[in-house]
Amino acid sequence: MSQSWDALKDHQAAVDGRSILDLFADGRRAEEFSASVDGMIFDYAKTNIDRRGRALLVELATRAGVAEKRDAMFAGAKINETEGRAVLHTALRNMDTSLVVDGQDVAGPLRDTYARMRRFAEDVRTGRFTGQGGKITDVVNIGIGGSDLGPAMAVLALAPFHDGPRCHFISNVDGAHAADILRGLNPETTLVIVASKTFTTIETMTNAETVRAWMARAVAEPATQFAAVSTAADKTAAFGIASERVFGFEDWVGGRYSMWGPIGLSLMLAVGPDDFAEFLRGGASMDAHFRTAPFAENLPVLLALVGIWHNQFCGYATRAVLPYDQRLSRLPAYLQQLEMESNGKRVAMDGSDLPYHSGPVVWGEPGTNGQHAFYQLIHQGTRVVPCEFLVAKRGHEPDLAHQHLLLVANCLAQSEALLRGRSLAQATEIMAKKGLTGAELERQARHRVFPGNRPSTTLAYEQLTPFVLGQIIALYEHRVFVEGAILGLNSYDQWGVELGKELALALQPVLEGKAGTEGKDGSTAQLAAWFRS
């Protein structure tokens, strides 16, 4: 792989600073540097990747064994080597296919759990499950990280399809979060889902106890209105949750990849089992495309190769995810975890130091709001920030089609502005027409120069439906896989979250006055003393 890496470094150095706009001169650029599947198009023509660059990137992926590693993942091999686990979130959306893991076919148990989820969701949605106060009107999902970000994002994204109870999410251990979510809810008509695989996650279980105490003030047996997404049957039973309302998932489903199964229960309650099935179908469609399409036409591979080009070869340390779709407003936060927890590593699979940077900083907000916030830096700042735009051809509000047209116009205009920029000559002409002359003309014109030549991609789709949302999430999941495979790291562990947890547990008794600050650095000891006082 080092030969491909060196060739790409040389190629990037040779084309650095080249005008991306000039690449469109032959008239075929846009068609050649886009790919599509099932009504979705990915356009990466507004990048500095040319035919040779793409060929070298594809060769890099081939030499890195992306195809072989992909096939191993889908076959149930234990590609999460540091934890000795398979990586099979894809099985949650492909349950009709037999899949043997450790000598057992896991598809049957997955179908059984899914069928139980469907029955429970229908019981809640139709009112057969009443709790102690009549039909359930609200659902509160308590989780954190992958047990919260995915379903919270998806529930918001599919708001036009809601025909079930209202869904709310509590994640932060800050008591303000629980207090604000519970305010205005009726305990008697609220179902609570506690989502924690081990049922020991400190933030989640602290919030669960808080919500149970809130419910106990109005409900004689509060645990009867709790469900759990957990594999710790003994702990859920001790909490008082009946086994028929406990839904588990295997250790080969990572938290940030888990909303296709029981972690997605809140989404199923909101949109119904049929639309949830469409969400799964969209993910399965992207799986099939990822497994069969040639790399040069493969959306997850191309998205990953663009990311590798920008981060590892161009040296762009961040990327902005910019959905021009208000209902995808939580997508950047979801992708922050998916990408940064997966590929934010410093060692290779064998434990050696990575010889290059790993994953980039992922951030963003929906358009057009971001245009009036941070786009100033994107257009005129000193750092280049590759942008990833997402936009639908049509919205869900036909009577507001004129607003959607304006939204799309803004999305396309921003990527065009990043590409074209505005030269000093153009800016000078604009300001001269306003009557400026001499030094003041030059000064004012320089403030209105846009460097341009800044890369972006656009992912466009017909409409944000459950199927399309499934496509988008699976696309980004596989993008993470490909980038991790090329970089030679493990995308499926997250040891970086452990140290802070351990230190927090040690600091709690210090803040309670039950332990001293021996062994703490001066800053931590001083702050702990200030809070304790």
CA angle in degrees (0–180, nearest 5) for 159-162-163: 160
Q: Residue 408 in contact with residue 342, Cβ under 8 Å?
A: no
Distance of alpha carbon 310 from alpha carbon 313, whole angstroms: 6
Residues forming beta bridges with residue 459, ordered by sequence position = 42, 390
- The phi-psi region of residue 381 (left if phi > 0; otherwise alpha if psi is between -120 and 50; otherwise beta) is beta
Q: Where are the alpha helices (DSSP H) in 435-521?
A: 438-447, 466-487, 498-511
**Tokens 């309650």 found at:** 269
Judged by DSSP in three states, 335 sits in helix
502 as an active site residue: the answer is no
Closest CA to 209 of 230, 197, 223, 220: 223
Closest CA to 303 of 463, 480, 64, 150: 480
Contacts of 329 (CB under 8 A, 6+ apart): 156, 323, 365, 366
Report residue 417 as tokens: 């502005």
Average pLDDT along the chain, 533 residues, taken 10 residues at a time: 91 97 96 97 98 98 98 95 94 90 89 97 96 90 96 98 98 98 96 95 96 95 95 95 94 93 98 98 98 98 98 98 98 97 96 96 97 98 98 97 98 98 97 97 97 98 98 98 97 91 91 93 95 92
CATH assignment, 498-532: 1.10.1390.10
**Residue with the two structure tokens 């596989």:** 478
pTM over 0.85: yes
As a CATH number, domain 106-271 is 3.40.50.10490
CA separation for the pair 99, 95 (Å, rounded): 9
| SS3 call for 454 | coil
The reply to whether 2-77+279-420+454-493 and 106-271 are identical in fold is yes
H helical segments located in 104-232 = 107-126, 149-157, 175-182, 202-216
Known active-site residue 442: no
Q: What is the pLDDT of residue 101?
A: 87
Beta-sheet pairing, 40-43 with 456-461: antiparallel
Q: What is the per-residue pLDDT for 1? A: 67
Q: Exactly one of 31, 372, 433, 434 is catalytic; which is it?
A: 372
Rounded Cα–Cα distance for residues 407 and 418 (Å): 17
- The Cα 275–Cα 271 span in angstroms is 6
Positive or negative: CA dihedral 106, 110, 113, 119: negative
**Considering 68, 221, 357, 501, which one is annotated as catalytic?**
501
Q: Residue 177's CB: how many other CB atoms inside 10 A?
A: 17
Active-site residue, from 250, 339, 341, 477: 341
- Residue 240: strand, helix, or coil: coil
C-alpha span between 199 and 195 (Å, rounded)? 8
pLDDT at position 512 is: 92
Structure tokens at 277: 């099935």
Domain 2-77+279-420+454-493 fold is: Rossmann fold (3.40.50)
The sign one gets for the Cα dihedral 195, 139, 241, 259 is negative
Residue extents of the structural domains in the chain:
2-77+279-420+454-493, 106-271, 498-532
CA 100 to chain centre: 28
Q: How far apart are CA 259 and CA 251, in angstroms?
A: 14
- 81 flagged as catalytic: no
Model pLDDT, residue 49: 98
